Amino acid sequence: MRIELLPGMTNVVRFPVERRARPTLGLLRDIAPDVREVMSLAEAFGMEMPAPDLRGRTDAATAEHIATNAPVTPAELAAFLAELEGIAVRRAILACRDAHDASLAAADAQKVLLDARTAGSFWTEPLQEKAEARTDRAAVLLLAAHAQAEQAEGVARAVALARHREPWSPRDSVAEMDFLLDVHRAAG
C-alpha cells in the first residue's frame, strides 16, 4: 500500500475513502480525471483527443433507450433507472481507480529509474523501458477513465430527466450559463 499525504502537509496521511465508499455519482465527480489534465496528456503523448460531444451523445442514446425500454409501473421504472445509472457509475469509478493505480505504478517506476541513475548504475535501459511502458499505460487508462466518466454523466442526466418525468432535450450550455448569470445577479 502506498502512503499518500494530504496536499501541502508533511505529517497528515490521507486515507483513500474512495476505495471503500459506495459508488455514487458524487464520488465519481470527486475522482474523475480533470478534463484539462486529460487534454494536456493526450497532446503530450500524441493520442487522439477525447470526443467533446461524448456526454451529449451518451445522454441522447440513454434517453432513447429509456423511452423504448422503460417499464410502465413506477416501482419497476425506479429500479430500471437506478440499475441503468448504477452500472454506468460503477464502470466509471472502476476505470478511474484503475487509472489512478496505473499512475502510481508509473510514478514508482520513474522513481526507481531516477534512483538508479542517481546512484550511477550503468544498466538502466530495462528500468527506463519499464517506466515508459507504465507511463504509456497510465496515459491510456486516464483517457479511458475520462471517457467512462463522461458517459456516466450522460447516463445520469438522461436518468434524472426520466425520474422527474421531464421530456428529454439536448443540453443548451448557453441557456444554462444565462440562467446561472441571472441567478447570480438576482442574489446580489
Query: What are the distances in angstroms from CA 14 to CA 103, 150, 153?
Result: 17, 27, 27
Question: Which position has the grid cell 477525447?
Answer: 50
Query: CA 152 to CA 41: how far, in whole Å?
Result: 21
Give me the pLDDT at residue 2, please.
65
Q: For residue 62, give the C-alpha cell.
A: 440513454
> What pLDDT, on the 0 to 100 scale, is given for residue 173?
81
152 in a domain, yes or no?
yes
- Could you tell me if residue 13 is inside a domain? no
pLDDT of amino acid 9: 77
- Grid cell of 179 as nine digits: 440562467
Asked if residue 142 belongs to a domain, the reply is: yes
Query: What is the reported pLDDT for 85?
Result: 98
Residue-level pLDDT at 188: 76
What's the pLDDT score for residue 185? Answer: 93
- Interatomic CA distance for residues 96 and 56, integer angstroms: 20
Q: What integer pLDDT is reported at residue 1 of this predicted model?
A: 52
Number of domains into which the chain is organized: 1
Domain containing residue 149: 22-176
Residue type present at position 125: E
Three-state DSSP class for residue 151: helix
In a domain, 121, yes or no: yes
Residue 10 in domain: no
* pLDDT by residue, tens only, the chain of 188 residues: 566 777 777 777 777 777 889 999 999 999 999 999 999 999 999 999 999 999 999 999 999 999 999 998 999 999 999 999 999 999 999 999 999 999 999 999 999 999 999 998 878 999 999 999 999 999 999 999 999 999 999 999 999 999 999 998 888 888 889 999 999 999 97
Domain contains 131? yes
In sequence order, the β-bridge partners of residue 73 are none
